[in-house]
Amino acid sequence: MSFVITTACVATCDTACVDVCPVDCIQGPIPIEELRLVPLEKRATQFSTFQLYINPDECIGCAACEPECPVEAIYEEDSVPAKHTEDIARNARFFLEQSSLVF
């Protein structure tokens, strides 16, 4: 069962979840290394619309990322709160769009 990052991540982007993921399946609109060049306290303004996403095709459901998130943005797919159910498709769509950019 895949995990999902909800919009609660928007403008936080502290990347704590990335460090614990054993399969490296968490990505954002810009490379993680580039995102980390911006100090944490400036990310809310500089990345005000950004969030990270979990690739549902690669996530192994290990749950390591969930407790790392300071804003409780990560849920197992079956446990996503009702107000965030659209985020399940948004995570998948992000990676579909990324792959279509390759061609």
- Which residue ranges make up the site for ligand SF4 (CB under 6 A)? 3, 5, 9, 12-17, 20-21, 23, 25-26, 52, 54, 59-65, 68-69, 71, 73-74
Question: What helix, strand, coil percent values describe the chain, rounded to 5?
Answer: 45, 10, 45
Minimum CB distance to ligand SF4 smaller for 32 or for 103: 32
Least distance between ligand SF4 and beta carbon 93 (Å): 16
Minimum CB distance to ligand SF4 smaller for 21 or for 80: 21
Least distance between ligand SF4 and beta carbon 4 (Å): 9
HEC profile for 57-88? CCCCCCCCCHHHCCCCCEEEHHHCCHHHCHHH
The answer to whether 34 and 97 have CB atoms below 8 angstroms apart is: no
Minimum CB distance to ligand SF4 smaller for 54 or for 80: 54
| Distance from C-alpha of 79 to C-alpha of 76, rounded to nearest angstrom | 5
| Distance from C-alpha of 15 to C-alpha of 12, rounded to nearest angstrom | 8
Least distance between ligand SF4 and beta carbon 103 (Å): 26
Minimum CB distance to ligand SF4 smaller for 55 or for 103: 55
